[in-house]
Chains A and B, each alone.
Chain A
Amino acid sequence: MSAQPNVATEAWPQSYGDEAQPRMGFFTDTSVCIGCKACEVACKEWNQVPEDGLLFTAQSYDNTGGLGADTWRHVAFIEQDRPLRVGDGDGEDGDAFRWLMSSDVCKHCTHSACLDVCPTGAIIRTELGTVVVQEDVCNGCGYCVPACPFGVLDKREIEDDGRVWKCTLCYDRTREGITPACAQACPTESIQYGPLDELRERAGARLDKVVADGFAGARLYGEDPNDGVGGFGAFFLLLDEPEVYGLPPHPVDTTHDLPEMWRSAAVAAGALAVGVAACLLGGRR
C-alpha cells in the first residue's frame, strides 16, 4: 500500500507489502481524563501483567509510580494552584486550583531507538506500524532500556523473568481490528484509538476547541512528525508543559546521531590508518 503522508517509518509499511495495515495509534486527550485508572486495569487484565506492588506513595492519587515492565498504562496526577481555564478568577478566596490527569503509555515512536538497538530482533515494527517486544524472542539483555528517551522499557523482575515488557498496543487485538483494551474501557474516551493520520487531524480540531473553551496551557505533544522521534504513534493533548507531567520536552531518538557517529568514527579510523601508513612508509628513510 502507499505510505500515508507523514506516518511512514523505517520498516512499515514497506516490509509488509500487502499485509500492511494503516498505521494505527493512540490519541490521549487529557482534557477529558477523569483519572479513574480503568486503562491501567483493563491493560493488565488483557495482557495478564502482574500486580506490581501495594505501595502507598503519597503522591496525589498515583500509587503506580510510572511505566515499567509491569505497568503499561500509568495515570499521572498533578495538583496545581492555577485555574483550569484562562480567565477563571483566582477566586475571591484564592481558590485557583486544578488537577491535571493523564494516562501515559509507550509512544510507539516513528524513529524508535529501542527498535534500532535491539540486538536480537526481539523488538519489531508490526504491520500496523506499532512497536512490539516479542516475548518469545527477547533474552533480557536490556540494551533497549537506556535507549528509550521516555524510560518506558524495563526488565521484569517478578518471578526472575528478566525479559523486557511494554505496551504492545494490544497487537493481538488490533491486528484483527479489535480496539485495544485501554481505549475500549476508557469511560470518557480520553484514550482514542484509530489510524494515526486521522487521529492527528482530529487532535488538531480538538486542540482548537479546547483552546476556544479556555483551557489554559493546552497543546499537543508528540503529534509533530518533525520532532526528535519523528512524531509519536501514541501522542497527547496536554494542558501544560510536558515536564509538568514527567515527560521530556524535546525527546530525541537516541540512535539519531548514530550514522553521524559512525561516519566520524570511520573518518577517524581512516585518518588513523593514513597516519599509521604515513609513519610506516615515511619511516623508511
Chain B
Amino acid sequence: MPGLGTSFGRGGATTFQQDLQNSDCIVIMGSNMAECHPVGYQWVMEARERGARVIHIDPRYTRTSATATDYVRIRAGSDIAFLGGIINYILENGREFRDYVVHYTNAPVIVDEGFQDTEELDGFFSGWQDAKSNYDNTTWQYAGMSVQGSAGQREMGANQGEAAGHGGHGASLNHGEPPEEDPTLEHPRCVFQLLRRHYARYTPEFVEQICGVPRDRFRMVAKALCDNSGRERTSAFCYAVGWTQHTVGVQYIRAAAIVQLLLGNIGRPGGGILALRGHASIQGSTDIPTLYNILPGYIPMPHAHAHDDLGQFIEMNSAASGFWRNMGAYTVSMLKAWWGAHATAENDFCFDYLPRITGDHSIYQTVLAMLDGAVKGMIVVGENPAVGSANSGLHRKAMAKLDWLVVRDLVEIETAAFWYDSPEVRRGELRTEDIGTEVFFLPASAHTEKDGSFTNTQRLLQWHHRAVEPEGDCRSELWFYYHLGRIIREKLEGSEDERDRPVLELQWHYPTSGEAEEPSADAVLREINGTGPDGGALSAYLELKDDGSTACGCWIYCGCYADEVNQPARRKPASEQTWVAPEWGWAWPANRRIIYNRASADPDGKPWSERKRYVWWDEKEGQWTGEDVPDFQPDKRPDYVPPDGARAQDAIKGNHPFIMQADGRGWLFVPSGIVDGPLPTHYEPHESPFTNRLYDQRGNPARQIFERPGNHTQPTDGEPGSDRFPFVMTSYRLTEHHTAGGMSRFVPYLSELQPEMFCEVSPELAAERSLVNGGWATVATERAAIEARVLVTDRMRPLRVDGRLVHQVGLPYHWGSRGLARGGSANDLFPIVLDPNVHIQEVKAATCDIRPGRSPRGAVS
C-alpha cells in the first residue's frame, strides 16, 4: 500500500471493478485475475467485448491468459525491468500526456542538488548507510523544502528518529507550489529529467535480456498502452500479490504508478490502478488495522525513539499542507473513542496509554522471537500460518516454542494441529510428547452467523447480516474479544498498577443480545464512524476536531454511519442506479468510487474529452459535479491559488488533484515515505539464477534478510553451489481453492475440483528431470523438500534470459496435511526474506531443484 500511498496520497485501489468496462486497454500483471477474482473479471470481459485490449503478462499461461487478447510470458521477479522499459519507451518517444504530467505530477519539481541516482553510484541512491542497512533521505528532498510522504515511512515507525525529523516542518509550499520547479521539464534536476536518466538503460533490448520477453513483443505492449492513453482513451492496470510479494514489492507498484501518471490515467474512467486484494476484508484489516505499525486510518503507531508526547507525534507526522495536516484531529478523536472521558487535553488524551514500537515487529519478526523463546503466547484467528506463511515449517517449529496457543477457526486447520499432524512430527524432527505448547481450539462462527462489515478490494464497505445462530460453542470474533476484554478487566479490577490503567479505563461497553450475549456489531460500526459533541453520528472527517469534542474510531471511515444510517448496509439494486451505484454500500473516503477524480478534468475544470467525462467544474453552480462524489473540496475553483500562510487543504491549488499529498501532485519521484529509494530500480530477487546486469549490487540493498538455521539463503549465480538450485520457482493460487486452504480443502465440492498438490512444469523441464505427467516429483530447497503430483504442460515454457534458457517450476500453495484435499505445502520451500517497507515475504520468485519420485521420509537438512 505505500506504493500507491506515496504516489497518490492514499494506500488503496484508485478505482473500482465495474470501471474496468470503460478501459480501452487493461494490463493484468502480477495478477491472475480470472482465477483469483473470477467474478470481478466479468468487467474485464465487458471491456474486451467492447474492443479493449486485454494484456496478461505472467510467468505462466493461465486461465487469464486464455481469455486475454495478448499474453506475454515474463521471468518471475523481473517486472521492474519491464515496467522501467515502458517508462523509457514513453519518455524516449515523447508519449507522455504532457498537460497532465506538467500540472498534476511532480515532474517539474526540482530536487536537492545532493541527490545521486543508482546510475551514478552503481546500484545505490545517495544517502546509503551501510551500518544501518538503510537510507538517509535528506538528499532526496525537493530543493528548498522537505516533504512528508502521505504514506509509507510515516507508518513504518522503524528508524524514525532521524528520518521522521524531516517531515512536517521545514519550508511549506509557496502559493501551493514547491519553491523550485520548471514547467518546461528541462532543468537537469527536475523530476522529469531524473526519470529519464534513471531509466535510460531500460531499452527494449534490456527488457529482452532481463525478462526473457522478445523486444518486439515488449514494444507491442508499450505501444498498446501509449496508443490507449491520452485525452480520448484510458488504460488500467490490475495487479495483485504477483507484484507485492517481492523484496522490491513496493517498488513494483511504484513503477506502475509512474507509468500511469506519465500516461495521465489516474483519476480517470477506465484508467487507474486496481489493486486486487486477496481476502474478504483484507483492505478493512489494513484500514482498521490488525497491523503492528499503524493505528486506524493509517495513523502511525508511536515510536519510542521519536514520539515523546502527543504534540511531538502530531508535529512529526503531519504535513503543512494537504489533508494530513489535520492529523491532530484524527488522532485525538481516536483516543477519545478509546478512552472516553478519561482522555483529556491535560493528559494528552491518554496518548501515553499507547504502547511504543521500537522497530520492525511484523509477524516474521515475531516468529523469529518465538523460536528464540521470547513470546509466551499467541492467538491466531481466521488465519493458517502453518501453511500460508513463507518458510511455513519454521513457523510450525516456532509454535512448538510457545507456552500457549489459541486458534479460532471453523475447522481444525494445520495451525491448530501442528503438535501432532505436521511434516516435522511425521519425520521425527519433532515429537508430540516433547512439545510443551498448551493449545486451545475455539470453534468460530461463519459469516452467515454474524453481523458485520467487510471492506473489499475497491474500498467498499458492505454489511453482511446474520442469517442463523451459531451452534454449540461457535462464537464470532467480536464475541471472543469483547468477552475476553470484559473478563480481563474483571480480573484486573481494583489494580493499582499503572500498566493496567489503559485497559481498565478503556471504553468497553457495547450492547449485547441473546443467550450468548453477542455484542452489537452495529454499535461498533457507529463508534468507528464517530460521534460529535452532542453524541450524534458524524457525517464527514472534516467534522473531526483536535480539542476532544469529537470521537472517531477510524477517520477514513467517518461517514459510514452518517445520518444514523448503517451506510454499508445499503443495498439499492443496481438496476435502480447509475453504473457507479453510489447507493450500494459505502466506500472510503466519503463514498468516492474513483479517487483523485479531479484529474478526470483538465486544469480549467473541463473534462479532458467527452468520451472520458467523469467529474468536472460547474461554473454556474460554483462547484464540482459529475458521475461520482468529487475527490476535491466541492467549491474550490479550478483556478484557486492559495494565499500566503494557507494551511492544510487550503494550501492545495485548484489544479492539483492529489489532495492528500503535501503538494497536491502525483509523485513520480518519492522524496520520502519509501525506505529503499525514490525511484524503482531493477534488482534481482533474493534467490535468483542470475546476477544483476545493471549493477554490481545484485539485490535490493535494503531488503530484510534473516540468515539463521532453518532460513538459509541459497547460493546465487556465480557463487559456489549455485547449480544445486538452478530453476526459478514461483507460487500462486488456483480458482478452486482459497489461500492456505482452511476454507476450501475442508469443503467437498471444492476439494474434488483440485484434490492434490501438484507442480506445473514444461515438457522440456520434464524431459530434463525425467518427470512424468501424473507421476510424483520432489521439489527441494535449502529449507525443505515437498512432494507433489506432476502436471506437464505447454503452459509452462523455458525462457531465454541473459543468453541462456531458464526453467520455471509452478507451485500452487494451498495444500497442507489436513482436510479432504491434502498435500505438501509450497511455502515450506521459501525463505523468509522481506520487502523493507511493508515486511512482506518474497514468495513469487526464488530458486529450487526438482527430482522425480516421492520425497524421502527422513529429516531434511
Residues of A within 8 A of B (CB): 32-38, 40-41, 44-45, 51-58, 60-61, 63-64, 79, 81, 84-85, 91-93, 95, 97-101, 187-189
Tell which of B71, B217, B753, B821 touches A40, judged by Cβ atoms closer than 8 Å: B753
Q: Known contacts being A34-B67, A36-B38, A187-B38, is A79 close to B794, with CB within 8 Å? A: yes
Question: Which residues of the other chain, A, contact B45 by a CB distance below 8 angstroms?
Answer: 32, 188
Question: Which residues of the other chain, A, contact B42 by a CB distance below 8 angstroms?
Answer: 187-189
> For the complex, what is the distance from the CA of A52 to the CA of B755, rounded to whole Å?
11
Q: CB distance A63 to B795 under 8 Å?
A: no
Q: CB distance A54 to B821 under 8 Å?
A: yes
Q: CB distance B755 to A99 under 8 Å?
A: no
B792-822 to A contact mask, C-beta < 8 Å, 1/0 = 0111010010000000000000000000110
> For the complex, what is the distance from the CA of A233 to the CA of B650, rounded to whole Å?
65
Q: Which of B58-66, B381-389, B692-700 participates in binding chain A?
A: B58-66
> For the complex, what is the distance from the CA of A58 to the CA of B759, rounded to whole Å?
10
> For the complex, what is the distance from the CA of A153 to the CA of B753, rounded to whole Å?
21
Tell which of A37, A63, A97, A98 touches B755, judged by Cβ atoms closer than 8 Å: A63
A54's closest neighbor in chain B, by CB?
Answer: B755
Q: CB distance B749 to A99 under 8 Å?
A: no
- Closest Cβ–Cβ distance, residue B41 to chain A (whole Å): 6
Question: Which residues of the other chain, B, contact A38 by a CB distance below 8 angstroms?
Answer: 38
For the complex, is B758 an interface residue (Cβ under 8 Å from A)? yes
Q: Known contacts being A51-B749, A56-B789, is A92 close to B214, with CB within 8 Å? A: yes
- Residues of B299-319 contacting chain A, CB below 8 A: none
Q: CB distance B38 to A101 under 8 Å?
A: no
Q: CB distance B752 to A99 under 8 Å?
A: no
Q: CB distance B41 to A37 under 8 Å?
A: no
Rank and list the top 6 A-B pairs by shortest CB-CB distance, nearest first. Answer: A58-B774, A54-B755, A51-B748, A99-B66, A56-B756, A34-B34
Q: Known contacts being A93-B214, A97-B795, is A55 close to B35, with CB within 8 Å? A: no
Question: Which residues of the other chain, A, contact B800 by a CB distance below 8 angstroms?
Answer: 93
B33's closest neighbor in chain A, by CB?
Answer: A34
Q: CB distance A63 to B749 under 8 Å?
A: no
- 28 interchain pairs, CB-CB under 8 A: A32-B67, A33-B67, A34-B35, A34-B41, A34-B67, A35-B63, A36-B35, A37-B753, A40-B749, A45-B749, A51-B748, A51-B752, A55-B755, A56-B758, A56-B789, A58-B789, A63-B755, A84-B66, A92-B216, A92-B217, A95-B71, A97-B61, A97-B795, A187-B39, A188-B41, A188-B42, A188-B45, A189-B42
> For the complex, what is the distance from the CA of A60 to the CA of B71, rounded to whole Å?
19
Question: Which residues of the other chain, B, contact A63 by a CB distance below 8 angstroms?
Answer: 752-755
- Residues of B734-775 contacting chain A, CB below 8 A: 734-736, 748-756, 758, 773-774
Q: A37-B753, A100-B66 are in contact. List 15 more A-B contacts (CB 8 A).
A: A34-B66, A35-B63, A36-B35, A36-B63, A37-B736, A40-B749, A41-B750, A54-B752, A55-B755, A58-B758, A64-B753, A85-B69, A95-B797, A99-B65, A99-B66
> For the complex, what is the distance from the CA of A52 to the CA of B752, rounded to whole Å?
7
Question: Which residues of the other chain, B, contact A58 by a CB distance below 8 angstroms?
Answer: 758, 773-774, 789-791
> For the complex, what is the distance from the CA of A31 to the CA of B45, rounded to whole Å?
11
Question: Which residues of the other chain, B, contact A41 by a CB distance below 8 angstroms?
Answer: 749-750, 753
Q: CB distance B795 to A79 under 8 Å?
A: yes
- Closest Cβ–Cβ distance, residue B32 to chain A (whole Å): 11
Q: Give the residue among A34, A56, A188, A189 with the most B Cβ atoms within 10 A.
A: A34
> For the complex, what is the distance from the CA of A45 to the CA of B73, rounded to whole Å?
37
> For the complex, what is the distance from the CA of A34 to the CA of B821, rounded to whole Å?
23
- Residues of B197-219 contacting chain A, CB below 8 A: 214, 216-217
- Closest Cβ–Cβ distance, residue A38 to chain B (whole Å): 7
> For the complex, what is the distance from the CA of A95 to the CA of B71, rounded to whole Å?
10
B68's closest neighbor in chain A, by CB?
Answer: A84
- Closest Cβ–Cβ distance, residue B748 to chain A (whole Å): 4
Question: Which residues of the other chain, A, contact B797 by a CB distance below 8 angstroms?
Answer: 95
Question: Which residues of the other chain, B, contact A32 by a CB distance below 8 angstroms?
Answer: 45, 49, 67
> For the complex, what is the distance from the CA of A37 to the CA of B35, rounded to whole Å?
10
Question: Which residues of the other chain, A, contact B790 by a CB distance below 8 angstroms?
Answer: 58
Question: Which residues of the other chain, A, contact B820 by a CB distance below 8 angstroms?
Answer: 54
B39-58 to A contact mask, C-beta < 8 Å, 1/0 = 10110010001000000000
> For the complex, what is the distance from the CA of A99 to the CA of B795, rounded to whole Å?
9
Q: Known contacts being A34-B41, A36-B34, is A99 close to B753, with CB within 8 Å? A: no
B346-367 to A contact mask, C-beta < 8 Å, 1/0 = 0000000000000000000000
A214's closest neighbor in chain B, by CB?
Answer: B69
A75's closest neighbor in chain B, by CB?
Answer: B753
A92's closest neighbor in chain B, by CB?
Answer: B214
Question: Which residues of the other chain, A, contact B753 by a CB distance below 8 angstroms?
Answer: 37, 40-41, 63-64
- Closest Cβ–Cβ distance, residue A74 to chain B (whole Å): 11
- Closest Cβ–Cβ distance, residue B65 to chain A (whole Å): 7
Q: CB distance B773 to A64 under 8 Å?
A: no
Tell which of B63, B67, B751 touches A51, judged by Cβ atoms closer than 8 Å: B751
Q: CB distance A99 to B774 under 8 Å?
A: no
Question: Which residues of the other chain, B, contact A92 by a CB distance below 8 angstroms?
Answer: 214, 216-217
> For the complex, what is the distance from the CA of A118 to the CA of B61, rounded to whole Å?
46
Question: Which residues of the other chain, A, contact B214 by a CB distance below 8 angstroms?
Answer: 92-93
> For the complex, what is the distance from the CA of A73 to the CA of B821, rounded to whole Å?
21
> For the complex, what is the distance from the CA of A57 to the CA of B64, rounded to whole Å?
22
> For the complex, what is the distance from the CA of A187 to the CA of B734, rounded to whole Å?
16
> For the complex, what is the distance from the CA of A32 to the CA of B41, rounded to whole Å?
11
B755's closest neighbor in chain A, by CB?
Answer: A54
> For the complex, what is the distance from the CA of A33 to the CA of B42, rounded to whole Å?
10
> For the complex, what is the distance from the CA of A80 to the CA of B4, rounded to whole Å?
39
Question: Which residues of the other chain, B, contact A97 by a CB distance below 8 angstroms?
Answer: 61, 71, 794-795
- Closest Cβ–Cβ distance, residue B124 to chain A (whole Å): 35
B39's closest neighbor in chain A, by CB?
Answer: A187
> For the complex, what is the distance from the CA of A95 to the CA of B823, rounded to whole Å?
32
B751's closest neighbor in chain A, by CB?
Answer: A54
- Closest Cβ–Cβ distance, residue A86 to chain B (whole Å): 13
Question: Which residues of the other chain, B, contact A55 by a CB distance below 8 angstroms?
Answer: 752, 755
> For the complex, what is the distance from the CA of A58 to the CA of B793, rounded to whole Å?
10
Q: CB distance A81 to B794 under 8 Å?
A: yes
Tell which of A54, A93, A187 touches B41, judged by Cβ atoms closer than 8 Å: A187
> For the complex, what is the distance from the CA of A158 to the CA of B239, rounded to whole Å?
43
> For the complex, what is the distance from the CA of A41 to the CA of B49, rounded to whole Å?
26
Q: Give the residue among A35, A53, A98 with the most B Cβ atoms within 10 A.
A: A35
Tell which of B41, B789, B793 touches A60, judged by Cβ atoms closer than 8 Å: B793
Question: Which residues of the other chain, A, contact B69 by a CB distance below 8 angstroms?
Answer: 85
Question: Which residues of the other chain, A, contact B791 by a CB distance below 8 angstroms?
Answer: 58, 60
> For the complex, what is the distance from the CA of A91 to the CA of B820, rounded to whole Å?
42
- Closest Cβ–Cβ distance, residue A157 to chain B (whole Å): 15
Q: CB distance A34 to B38 under 8 Å?
A: yes
> For the complex, what is the distance from the CA of A53 to the CA of B754, rounded to whole Å?
11
Question: Which residues of the other chain, B, contact A60 by a CB distance below 8 angstroms?
Answer: 791, 793
> For the complex, what is the distance from the CA of A101 to the CA of B64, rounded to whole Å?
12
Question: Which residues of the other chain, A, contact B61 by a CB distance below 8 angstroms?
Answer: 97, 99
> For the complex, what is the distance from the CA of A55 to the CA of B789, rounded to whole Å?
11
Question: Which residues of the other chain, A, contact B734 by a CB distance below 8 angstroms?
Answer: 61
- Closest Cβ–Cβ distance, residue A24 to chain B (whole Å): 22
- Closest Cβ–Cβ distance, residue B56 to chain A (whole Å): 12
- Closest Cβ–Cβ distance, residue B66 to chain A (whole Å): 4
Tell which of A35, A44, A98 touches B749, judged by Cβ atoms closer than 8 Å: A44
- Closest Cβ–Cβ distance, residue B18 to chain A (whole Å): 14
Tell which of A34, A85, A189 touches B63, judged by Cβ atoms closer than 8 Å: A34
Question: Which residues of the other chain, B, contact A51 by a CB distance below 8 angstroms?
Answer: 748-749, 751-752
- Residues of B59-92 contacting chain A, CB below 8 A: 61, 63-67, 69, 71, 73
> For the complex, what is the distance from the CA of A35 to the CA of B756, rounded to whole Å?
18
Question: Which residues of the other chain, B, contact A84 by a CB distance below 8 angstroms?
Answer: 66
> For the complex, what is the distance from the CA of A163 to the CA of B744, rounded to whole Å?
30
- Residues of B277-293 contacting chain A, CB below 8 A: none
Q: Give the residue among A33, A52, A97, A101 with the most B Cβ atoms within 10 A.
A: A97
> For the complex, what is the distance from the CA of A40 to the CA of B748, rounded to whole Å?
12
Q: CB distance A99 to B63 under 8 Å?
A: yes
Q: Give the residue among B63, B73, B750 with the most A Cβ atoms within 10 A.
A: B63
B620-655 to A contact mask, C-beta < 8 Å, 1/0 = 000000000000000000000000000000000000
